């Protein structure tokens, strides 16, 4: 027994020394790597990686600078804590900083396919070019898509007013926003009580809720080695089951499109993709059934969750800053009237409304760290050497809360984006959709939706708090995976 105990102790001691030595040597190997907190041996900064990491890393900027590193498990991340350095990396050196790191969790959930998670290269370039061209072809950023949003707005308003006190605001907003994606991808909209549509929305919302599964998945995303622990393994199993159900909806719709496909009558995004698949060697170019399913999923997840959450944040702002709602309504009365139809042509006549939307996007960035990037080659940045295949995050929160860019950034103040004449001033430093080659594909659509849905709601309805359940603090939120969202709250809507 003594010998066995001695052997076990020796093994454990040896293993501990090995990890400490490995950790030390790996740090020494990167002599010109950006500085930053190392955390603990083996796990690194993971024990501290909770809550709003964008804010946490921004608070470390004073100690480590605009370019810092943080050890997450065995990996070293690079965090960019300022606009100029993000612009230098993602725009000026975009060819070197536009990759996607191989993450076992996202690879398991997406197969490494789609537009969001595909690594930088010819396949991604083909898919990106196709997406931009096809979305424009179906009206994104143009009058055709604007008409779709205008047509959807009364359905959203009716849904809000018919519910009395709305307890599931995120779901209601998701219905309207998702239907715009449905028009582009599927070629039609759905009634809000359609069984298939409701099921689709439940999947879209599930991964942005504050649940123990989403919190665990967030940790596993940052530190994949945690997936081997039972509680994390259970969360991963749950996620995989839900994703398969989600993709099954798209699979059925895809097959329906295949059975009625006519290359001379391209009805929607799926048809356009199917047409590309029929060309020679298109599977190698990224045009396959697997890529199509993940591409559809990316469009729905990115296009629905972000815009609907921003609309929810806007409603919460109206509850805590009612003067904002009244100023927007005043502009609507002057520019559109009670019976006019809000459209993008009214933006120039509604500077405060534009300023409010820009301040929401600045103050409540939904992805504080953006989507992770990877270096495609050895790169230099601000005198530091960043090796190939290093994970890089552009800290959007650090930009939006930089006091050198925005006076009293913690304060919610739309007026900061109005000049002395009361005209709207667009800020290039508000970057919720990121910048560079991998900036959000649906930015134009999202901006159009925010303006039309928001003005449509305020034109017809007054947003009021539930007297029996006070709203949460506007300056607090919840963190699910890497997604920053508002707490759930109730809203009452009254017809104006």
Same domain, residue pair 2 and 71? no
SS3 380: strand
Same domain, residue pair 147 and 251? yes
The C-alpha angle with vertex 177 and arms to 329 and 433, in degrees rounded to 5, equals 90
**Helix H or strand E encompassing 23:** helix 2-29
Q: What is the tens place of the pLDDT at every residue in 305-351?
A: 889 999 999 999 999 999 999 999 999 999 999 999 999 999 999 99
pLDDT of residue 322: 96
Query: Residue 159's domain spans which residues?
Result: 37-495
Q: What is the tens place of the pLDDT at every residue in 268-281?
A: 999 999 999 988 66
Same domain, residue pair 151 and 220? yes
Same domain, residue pair 7 and 127? no
Task: Answer with the residue of higher pLDDT: 5 or 74.
Answer: 74
Q: What is the C-alpha separation between 76 and 86, in angstroms, rounded? A: 18
Q: What is the C-alpha separation between 337 and 329, in angstroms, rounded? A: 9
Q: Which residues pair with 393 in a beta bridge?
A: 79
- Cα 94 vs. chain centroid, distance in angstroms? 20
DSSP string, 421-454: TS-B---TT--TT--STTS-TTHHHHHHHHHHHH
**Helix H or strand E encompassing 2:** helix 2-29
pLDDT of residue 113: 85
- Report the chain's C-alpha Rg in angstroms: 24
Question: H helices within 112-194, ranges in order?
Answer: 122-137, 143-162, 169-185
pLDDT of residue 356: 98
Q: What is the tens place of the pLDDT at every residue in 62-95?
A: 999 999 999 988 889 999 999 999 999 999 999 9
- Cα 96 vs. chain centroid, distance in angstroms? 22
Residue 371 near residue 116 (C-beta atoms within 8 A): yes
pLDDT of residue 5: 46
Same domain, residue pair 215 and 315? yes
Number of domains in the chain: 2
Q: What is the C-alpha separation between 482 and 221, in angstroms, rounded? A: 9
Same domain, residue pair 282 and 359? yes
Indicate the angle between helix axes 351-363 and 306-320, nearest 10 degrees: 110
Same domain, residue pair 56 and 24? no
Q: Which residues contact 23 (CB under 8 A, 6 or more apart)?
A: 38, 41, 42
Same domain, residue pair 1 and 127? no
Same domain, residue pair 330 and 466? yes
Q: Does residue 2 register a pLDDT over 50?
A: no
Residue 458 near residue 450 (C-beta atoms within 8 A): no
Q: What is the tens place of the pLDDT at every residue in 146-192?
A: 999 999 999 999 999 988 889 889 999 999 999 999 999 999 999 99
Residue 100 near residue 117 (C-beta atoms within 8 A): yes
First-residue to last-residue Cα distance in the chain: 82
Closest CA relative to residue 294, chosen from 304, 282, 285, 286: 286
Q: What is the C-alpha separation between 481 and 105, in angstroms, rounded? A: 12
Same domain, residue pair 3 and 81? no
* β-pair type (391-394, 75-80): parallel
CATH number of the domain bearing residue 182: 1.10.630.10
Q: What is the C-alpha separation between 85 and 55, in angstroms, rounded? A: 17
Confidence of residue 495 (pLDDT cuts 50, 70, 90): very high
């Amino acid at each position: 027994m003594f010998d066995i105990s001695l052997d076990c102790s020796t093994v454990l001691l040896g293993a501990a020394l090995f990890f400490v030595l490995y950790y030390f040597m790996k740090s020494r190997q990167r002599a010109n790597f950006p500085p930053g907190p190392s955390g603990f041996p083996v796990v690194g900064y993971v024990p501290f990686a909770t809550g709003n990491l964008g804010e946490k890393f921004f608070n470390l900027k004073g100690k480590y600078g605009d370019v810092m590193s943080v050890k997450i498990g065995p990996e070293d991340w690079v965090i960019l804590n300022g606009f100029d350095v993000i612009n230098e990396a993602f725009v000026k050196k975009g060819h070197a900083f536009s990759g996607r790191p191989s993450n076992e969790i996202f690879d398991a959930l997406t197969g490494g396919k789609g537009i969001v998670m595909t690594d930088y290269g010819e396949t991604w370039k083909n898919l990106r070019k196709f997406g931009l061209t096809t979305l424009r072809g179906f009206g994104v950023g143009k009058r055709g898509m604007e008409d779709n949003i205008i047509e959807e707005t009364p359905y959203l308003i009716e849904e809000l007013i018919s519910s009395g006190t709305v307890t599931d605001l995120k779901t209601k907003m998701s219905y309207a926003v998702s239907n715009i994606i449905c028009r582009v991808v599927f070629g039609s909209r759905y009634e809000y009580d359609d069984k298939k549509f409701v099921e689709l929305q439940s999947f879209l919302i599930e991964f942005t809720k504050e649940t123990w599964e989403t919190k665990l998945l967030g940790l596993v995303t940052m530190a994949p080695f945690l997936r081997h622990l039972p509680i994390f393994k259970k969360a991963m199993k749950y996620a995989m089951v839900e994703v398969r159900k989600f993709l099954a909806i798209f699979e059925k719709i895809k097959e329906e499109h295949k059975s009625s496909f006519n290359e001379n009558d391209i009805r929607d995004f799926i048809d356009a993709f199917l047409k590309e698949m029929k060309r020679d060697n298109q599977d190698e170019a990224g045009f396959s059934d697997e890529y199509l399913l993940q591409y559809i999923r990316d469009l729905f997840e990115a296009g629905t969750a972000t815009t609907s959450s921003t609309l929810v944040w806007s409603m919460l702002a109206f509850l805590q800053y009612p003067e904002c709602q009244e100023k927007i309504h005043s502009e609507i009365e002057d520019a559109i009237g009670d019976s006019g139809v809000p459209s993008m042509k009214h933006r120039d006549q509604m500077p405060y409304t534009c300023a409010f939307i820009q301040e929401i996007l600045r103050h409540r960035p939904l992805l504080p760290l953006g989507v992770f990037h990877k270096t495609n080659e050895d790169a230099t940045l601000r005198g530091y050497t960043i090796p190939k295949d290093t994970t890089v995050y552009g800290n959007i929160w650090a930009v939006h809360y930089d006091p050198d860019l925005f006076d009293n950034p913690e304060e919610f103040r739309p007026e900061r984006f109005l000049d002395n004449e009361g005209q709207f001033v667009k800020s290039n430093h508000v970057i919720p959709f990121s910048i560079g080659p991998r900036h959000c594909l649906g930015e134009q659509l999202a901006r159009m939706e925010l303006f039309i849905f928001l003005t449509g709601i305020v034109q017809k309805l007054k947003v009021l708090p539930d007297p029996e359940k006070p709203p949460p603090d506007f300056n607090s939120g919840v963190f699910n995976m890497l997604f920053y969202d508002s707490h759930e709250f109730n809203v009452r809507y009254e017809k104006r």
